[in-house]
Structure 1
Amino acid sequence: MRAVVYDGEGVTLGTAPQPVPGDGQALVDVRAVSLNFTDVAHLDPATPPGTVLGLDAAGVVRQAAADGSGPEAGARVVTFGWGRGAWAETRAADTRHLAVLPEGVGFAEAAALPAAGVTALRALRQLGPVAGRRVLVTGASGGVGRFAVQLAALAGAYVVAAVGSPERGAGLRTLGAREVVTGLADVSAPFHGVLENVGGPLLGEAFALLEPGGSLQSIGAASGRPSTLDLEAARRAGGARRLEVFAVGTPDAPFGPDLAHLAALVAEGRLDPQIGWRGPWERVREAAGALRERRVAGKAVLEVTAAG
């Protein structure tokens, strides 16, 4: 079968063996996949060439799981996998980490949901109730950031979206941000919660803006730079504040229910997957380059096309 694989240097469209499903896995004919920044920017050079890459895919169940779990053949589904193997014509998908798609949700939109959407959803939950409270989202123009802005706004938060340039902030007010800022130098009002995607100096600046009892979820470090915290200044300000290194979960924590929730929001028109780059998977290198170079606002999605 055709698949996007690691070629020793980066990503390429090649071939791979057909997957063999385990008892709790369905065979899914993949129609669309999405790329995450970590998929293409942090490839481990020790990865064996020929490895099928990717976490997120949507398609149609060809063969139901042997143990009876999950949907029947013919169901339209969105899938996530903790290992790899998503970017292929056929995927063996753990039924705990998939959800049936509602009518009206396309494969491309569904494929954008798993890693970025579930990360934003679960990180937001870590802040506790946010209705009427100020929430800061850094790196708000990226895949996780755009989901976080929308989900926080849906939960009733006053959302401030921080981006790297004015151009990167385009469309964020439409998604629910009450303010869009470039950097935090002019922000003084405190926040109940921070969803922090950038790392580096920005993490320390955002932590300093937490109100007593507030929480910062460190989701990622897209800047690639180390962070420094002025804890003495935080002590002088008074009140406890939490900084947590966020992890989306473990292989034992099913993605299925959260994927079903996000897909339902898309079907209801309340959540936009924000696909900023879309094309056939023959253009995977182009998509990966655009993502690495921060030229994608939101998600990059590849549509799986038949050979020939």
Structure 2
Amino acid sequence: MRALINGPQGLHLADAPDPKPRDSQVLVAVEAVSLNFGEVAFRSPDTRSKHVSGWDAAGIVIQAAADGSGPAVGARVVTFGWSGAWAELRAVDTTELAVVPDSVDLGVASALPVAGVTALQAVRRLGPVVGRRVLVTGASGGVGRYAVRLAALAGAHVIASVGGPQRAQGLPELGAAEIVFGPEGLSEPVYGVLDTVGGAQLAEAFYRIGPDGVVLAIGRASREATTIDFEVAGTKSARGRLENFNVATPFADDLAYLLRLLETGRLDPQIGWRGPWRQAEEAAQALLTRRVPGKAVLDVES
């Protein structure tokens, strides 16, 4: 099969071994994949084993699971795994996929798994947010845009933090009640923070949470270390807590929920770049240089 392999010249198409499904896995003919900032920014240049990377993919089941679990041959599915997405074929556990409704484009569905499920689980982790002020940093990115929408659907007063006016495009339509250019722009404390940036922004956000508030450290788009001065936090009356957030598997139920929101028009994956997978390195660079609002999707071609 053909797959995207990372090498000195970046992501490029090459031959790779076909996957061999375990009994609890289906084999999927991949039609679209989506790229995530984390898997692009922190990719390894080691290609000695022709390892196929990639987290998110959507396609058609061509071999059902031997143990009888999961969908039948011909089902349209969106899938998750910590590797194996960037290829023509993917073997995936039936607990890590969901059937895509006929009305939902597979490329659109491929944008859901890591970014969408991460945002969904993070909003849940905050607890009840109806009427509460919630800050989303890096709100123009893949996870950030989902977080803005899902927090708004949960009833929060959402404040979207972005790097500049151009990055704020579309966020009010997703449910952002306020736009700020960094946590320093907050006019008053917030109950919750969904931080996808890390570094100095994470520290600044922590200084601005109110009593019993919570900051979830979700991502590190800044690629900076975070230093928090707790004496400064004390002078700013930060009395909440900081938690490291990691998305939890399996994804099947959360993917099915997000697909229902997509199908009914209550969720938009915010695809800011879409093209053929031979342009994967172009898409990766666009993500790294913040030229993609939301998600980047690659259509797999034979």
In the superposition, the TM-score normalised over structure 1's length comes to 0.95
SS of the residue 2:194 aligns to: strand
Instruction: Please say if residues 5 and 47 of structure 2, whose CA atoms lie closer than 8 Å, have aligned partners that are also in contact.
Output: no
Tell me by how many angstroms 1:9 deviates.
5.3
Tell me the equivalent position of 2:291: 295
SS of the residue 2:33 aligns to: strand
Tell me by how many angstroms 1:292 deviates.
1.2
Instruction: Please say if residues 103 and 267 of structure 1, whose CA atoms lie closer than 8 Å, have aligned partners that are also in contact.
Output: no
State how 1:114-153 maps to structure 2 within 5 Å.
Answer: 114-153=113-152
Structure 1 residues 42 and 9: alpha-carbon distance in aligned structure 2, compared to 1, 3 A threshold: farther
Cα deviation, 1:167-200, whole Å, max 9, x if unaligned, reads 1111100111001111233313111100001111
Structure 1 residues 239 and 171: alpha-carbon distance in aligned structure 2, compared to 1, 3 A threshold: closer
Tell me the equivalent position of 1:21: 21
Instruction: Please say if residues 213 and 240 of structure 2, whose CA atoms lie closer than 8 Å, have aligned partners that are also in contact.
Output: yes
Tell me the equivalent position of 1:171: 170
2: CA distance, partners of 1:105 / 1:265? 11
Tell me by how many angstroms 1:236 deviates.
4.9
State how 1:39-78 maps to structure 2 within 5 Å.
Answer: 39-46=39-46, 48=48, 50-78=50-78
1: CA distance, partners of 2:288 / 2:204? 25
Name which of structure 1's ranges 222-231 and 139-148 shifts more when overlaid on structure 2. Answer: 222-231
SS of the residue 1:129 aligns to: coil
2: CA distance, partners of 1:6 / 1:173? 37
Structure 1 residues 239 and 112: alpha-carbon distance in aligned structure 2, compared to 1, 3 A threshold: closer
Which residue, 253, 256, 265 being the options, matches 2:252? 256
Report the RMSD for the aligned CA atoms in angstroms: 1.4
Instruction: Please say if residues 58 and 107 of structure 2, whose CA atoms lie closer than 8 Å, have aligned partners that are also in contact.
Output: yes
Tell me the equivalent position of 2:104: 105
SS of the residue 2:119 aligns to: helix
Instruction: Please say if residues 28 and 60 of structure 2, whose CA atoms lie closer than 8 Å, have aligned partners that are also in contact.
Output: yes
1: CA distance, partners of 2:183 / 2:40? 28
* 1:276 pairs with 2:272: yes
Structure 1 residues 16 and 201: alpha-carbon distance in aligned structure 2, compared to 1, 3 A threshold: same
2: CA distance, partners of 1:7 / 1:46? 7
In the superposition, the TM-score normalised over structure 2's length comes to 0.96
Tell me the equivalent position of 1:10: 10
2: CA distance, partners of 1:238 / 1:204? 14
Structure 1 residues 271 and 232: alpha-carbon distance in aligned structure 2, compared to 1, 3 A threshold: same
2: CA distance, partners of 1:48 / 1:144? 31
2: CA distance, partners of 1:47 / 1:196? 32
SS of the residue 2:13 aligns to: strand
Query: Structure 1 counterpart of 2:252, which letter?
Result: G
Name which of structure 1's ranges 232-241 and 163-172 shifts more when overlaid on structure 2. Answer: 232-241
2: CA distance, partners of 1:291 / 1:47? 22
Instruction: Please say if residues 11 and 40 of structure 1, whose CA atoms lie closer than 8 Å, have aligned partners that are also in contact.
Output: no
Instruction: Please say if residues 6 and 45 of structure 2, whose CA atoms lie closer than 8 Å, have aligned partners that are also in contact.
Output: no
Structure 1 residues 43 and 239: alpha-carbon distance in aligned structure 2, compared to 1, 3 A threshold: closer
Cα deviation, 1:148-184, whole Å, max 9, x if unaligned, reads 0000000000000000111111110011100111123
Q: Where do 5+ consecutive residues of structure 1 fail to align? A: none
2: CA distance, partners of 1:132 / 1:235? 26
2: CA distance, partners of 1:155 / 1:47? 43
